Structure 1
Amino acid sequence: MLTILSILIGVLTVYSSLRLTSDFSRQTQRTRAVRSSLVVLVISAGLGGMHLLGRRGLTGFTTEGRSLLISLFLYMLTLAGILYLFLRMRMILGEREQLKELAYRDTLTGLLNKNGMDHFWDHCKMSEQLAVLYLDLNRFKSINDTLGHHTGDLLLEAVGTSLQQFTCKGKRHIFRVGGDEFVIIAKRYSRKEAEQLALKVLERITRTYKLESHELFVSASVGITISQGRIDPKQLLQEADSAMYNAKQLGSGRYAVYKQESRIPSVKLLSSSRAQ
């Protein structure tokens, strides 16, 4: 009877742990912390209860050797079962995290993708000040059409590697949102800081790339907008995209800042040596 109770405790412990960790990646950081604490408590209580029942079962059969061995075997079997299920649960959670990483990452550049951006907006504070930089490579379509998609992919991979250095956990997030379009979202950035970031990005991206047998000079254009009050993701992306389009129209190596008041982008040149 005690052995059956131990098994029931083990099953209940695993079931409760799985319920607490369901949709774990979609929860807020505070909720995940609370649920993790509850999982630890549930598993500790389950193992503790099984241990007490097992000891009681063992002390009840000290006069009969055969009964003692059976009770000991079932007790150890129950413990082994719950430990196996616990390890299996950890493996399942690890696989979930890997799937989440694959779902949110662009396989070519290693940057966050559109799913990652949606996840960012879902967990972003609506009143937080953000700087949104929309980056587009110049002449990419021509390169892709002339030299082939393989060369285009190599170029995107190289650009993605260059952009990775600007990632800062909790402060700057970089996404690939289209073929040659990238978005950088920086938290708590002023206009001046956003412009400085744009300059650094352009200086890093605008250069000659050696891609197998090809040497290609590639430049970029950047559009900037700063959030004002409550965040509207769609509007911010449209404003940054509009500013980027205006920068592209005036030549390579430029960035444009979207003016909220007049709704007219102001354009600046990276440097005379770059804009060629």
Structure 2
Amino acid sequence: MHVSFSSQSRAGGSQAPDCFAPSLPDEPLAKVLADSARWRCDLSAASLAPNRTVIRIPVDPDGTVPRFFSSVPIVAGDIVVALVDKDSRILTEKRFSPVEILAAPLDNRFLIPLPATKRQSKAVIVAFDYPINPSLFLRSRLLDSNPINEPQSVRLLLVVAIVCGLLAMPMAYNIAFYPVLRERFVVWHIILSLALLAQCLLSSGIAMHFIDLSVEQLFRGQVISFGMAVAAMCAFTEAFIEPGKLNPVLRKIMRWVPLWMVSVAMGHAFFPTVLRAIQVKLYYAAFIPVLVLLVISLINGLYRGSRSAELKLIGLTPFFAMGGIRLVTMLFPGFSPEEATPMLYVAIVVEGAVATLGVAHRLMNIKRQRDDALAETRIFEDLAERDPLTGLLNRRAIERNFEQLRAEGFRVCALIDLDYFKSINDSYGHAKGDEVLRSVAGALREDEDTLAIRMGGEEFMLLLRGSDARNRAEARRQAITRHVAIDVVGLDRPVTASMGLLEMAERGPQHVTFETLYTRVDRLLYDAKAGGRNRTFGEKMVVFSARGKDRRTLRRAA
């Protein structure tokens, strides 16, 4: 007894299946057609338990002859397509393996050209070996023409291309900013954008306009990119929420979610038939605790006052809606999954816009915090390089920056020592001596061409640049006596200073160290002391000689 056919068609030039039957992979289709007891016409009751499921799609005798069979690219085994006549006799049939079936460049489907036959067919029989998803049966269609040529298809591709462009912009923004502010959430947002871009290109069919992908490759690409998107979304959320604004236990758990999601995605992509009858439900069920954890983390962040959690919740709301639709449609095949596709594009646009604003907000906050920290560090460094008594630079500062200062043109070095300063401390006390030192610092005033340094005790150094540097150094030495006389009350003698001055030739030695320079100018200072004090001894340096010995001990005794 053969199964009878009833004509059923859908608007828009496509026909949908009306009945199904379980079978074995090697069982002839003619035998299945002949066994009417197997056939059931409630497609929502189709099960994944049989190793082969056969569906029947009637052909409208008054309509256009269909040219393609189409379904979703969730294929693990072979597909056999056959045309039958009104007496249920097979006119022609052809087998396709998953690697032979190319994904269509539109709407997340594949197209198989129907076998040619001279006789009129009444139905198309399609057998799926080792099916892994009931959507294969529910979304199977016969098409009169290739939908890629229809105007609405072009409009859809244009919309998706715009969405892909919107994804690419924040990705470029993050790549540009990462070298400046090396934050983990920037890396995870780049990975999230890449995964969503891949998902968008694959699910819309745009990718197939540039490369040929089999349904097996497309299936793996979609599963992996979706799993990576969820993994990156969780990692980005954890890193994006400010320190102290997320429960430490939740933060620790969230850091393990990417490993879990990548493992689930890889397992389902490369081993889809291990638990074939229930694997799809297990796969989608694996996302439920992740979504729950994500929601709990965002709520916890909001409770703790996280601005980032607030922005992230707004951005992820469409994804939660899309995820809910996808979970319902996959766990309960009676529901149509068509609503999830446009929601994906809406979710991508909203998440991309909000996340980019959030990343910009966080980057500005981090930059502000780092600028404040750098400013504070500079203050401490400045304090470390300044003499606390006089406010002048100290020896540490000049030693660290000597090469740079030479390169900037500071070629005149003057070493100044107060005459008979020890007697001031002995006669008037160290407090009075400190007043004298502060007054001397005022006399050695700094400007953009003059640096004043307190080397220690009553010894000071000037580094100068400019054509009149020698005269400016001498003017400052002579100003010491006037400044101290005005600033320090109660001294019974004028305070004078001796100075050794060394002018480095512009074309002279280029590898003079600070210690070498200091040793030479110190000898000149000693000569000034030995020559009667309150005077300057100077010379212009061309090369250094090693004459004499360091007589600092003799000068200090003077």
Same topology, TM > 0.5: yes
Alignment of 1:238-257 (within 5 A): 238-257=519-538
1:57 aligns with 2:331: no
1: CA distance between counterparts of 2:316 and 2:517?
66
Deviation at 1:110?
0.7
Deviation at 1:216?
4.5
CA RMSD of aligned residues (A): 3.9
Contact 2:418–2:459 (Cα < 8 Å) also in 1? yes
1: CA distance between counterparts of 2:406 and 2:432?
39
Q: Which amino acid is the alignment partner of residue 217 of structure 1?
A: P
Give the equivalent residue in structure 1 for 2:509.
Answer: 229
Task: Report Cα offsets for 1:171-224 as digits up to 9, x if no partner.
Answer: 32211002011111123x45xx34312321123112324425446411111111
2: CA distance between counterparts of 1:257 and 1:138?
18
Residues 60 and 130 of structure 1: CA distance in aligned 2, closer, same or farther (over 3 Å): same
1: CA distance between counterparts of 2:410 and 2:431?
39
Contact 1:135–1:182 (Cα < 8 Å) also in 2? yes
State the SS of the aligned residue for 1:223.
strand
Residues 128 and 158 of structure 1: CA distance in aligned 2, closer, same or farther (over 3 Å): closer
1:149 aligns with 2:430: yes
The structure with the larger Rg is: 2
Return the structure number with greater relative CO, CA threshold 8 A, min gap 6: 1
1:115 aligns with 2:396: yes
Residues 3 and 215 of structure 1: CA distance in aligned 2, closer, same or farther (over 3 Å): farther
Contact 1:210–1:216 (Cα < 8 Å) also in 2? no
Give the equivalent residue in structure 2 for 1:168.
Answer: 447
Give the equivalent residue in structure 1 for 2:173.
Answer: none
Contact 1:137–1:219 (Cα < 8 Å) also in 2? yes
Give the equivalent residue in structure 2 for 1:19.
Answer: none
| Structure 1: gaps spanning 5 or more residues | 12-49, 65-70, 265-276
Give the equivalent residue in structure 1 for 2:480.
Answer: 205
Deviation at 1:235?
2.1
Residues 93 and 259 of structure 1: CA distance in aligned 2, closer, same or farther (over 3 Å): closer
Task: Report Cα offsets for 1:86-145 as digits up to 9, x if no partner.
Answer: 544333222211110011100111110011111221534569561110111111111112
1: CA distance between counterparts of 2:498 and 2:388?
24
Q: Which amino acid is the alignment partner of residue 178 of structure 1?
A: G
Contact 1:129–1:226 (Cα < 8 Å) also in 2? no
Q: Which amino acid is the alignment partner of residue 105 of structure 1?
A: R
1:134 aligns with 2:411: no
Contact 1:194–1:224 (Cα < 8 Å) also in 2? no
Q: Which amino acid is the alignment partner of residue 503 of structure 2?
A: I
Give the equivalent residue in structure 2 for 1:196.
Answer: 471
Q: Which amino acid is the alignment partner of residue 415 of structure 2?
A: Y
Residues 219 and 259 of structure 1: CA distance in aligned 2, closer, same or farther (over 3 Å): same
Q: Which runs of 4+ in 1 moved over 6 A?
A: 50-54, 75-83, 261-264
Aligned length: 213
Deviation at 1:83?
6.2
Q: Percent of aligned positions with the same letter in both sequences?
A: 25
Contact 2:414–2:462 (Cα < 8 Å) also in 1? yes
Give the equivalent residue in structure 2 for 1:220.
Answer: 497
Q: Which amino acid is the alignment partner of residue 501 of structure 2?
A: I
Q: Which amino acid is the alignment partner of residue 8 of structure 1?
A: A
Q: Which amino acid is the alignment partner of residue 119 of structure 1?
A: R
Contact 1:138–1:221 (Cα < 8 Å) also in 2? yes
Range 204-213 or range 130-139, more displaced = 204-213
Residues 200 and 122 of structure 1: CA distance in aligned 2, closer, same or farther (over 3 Å): same
TM-score, length-normalised on structure 1? 0.63
2: CA distance between counterparts of 1:152 and 1:235?
30
2: CA distance between counterparts of 1:151 and 1:54?
67
Task: Report Cα offsets for 1:34-84 as digits up to 9, x if no partner.
Answer: xxxxxxxxxxxxxxxx999766414445799xxxxxx9xxx8999887766
Q: Which amino acid is the alignment partner of residue 152 of structure 1?
A: G
Contact 2:416–2:477 (Cα < 8 Å) also in 1? no
Alignment of 1:62-101 (within 5 A): 85-101=366-382
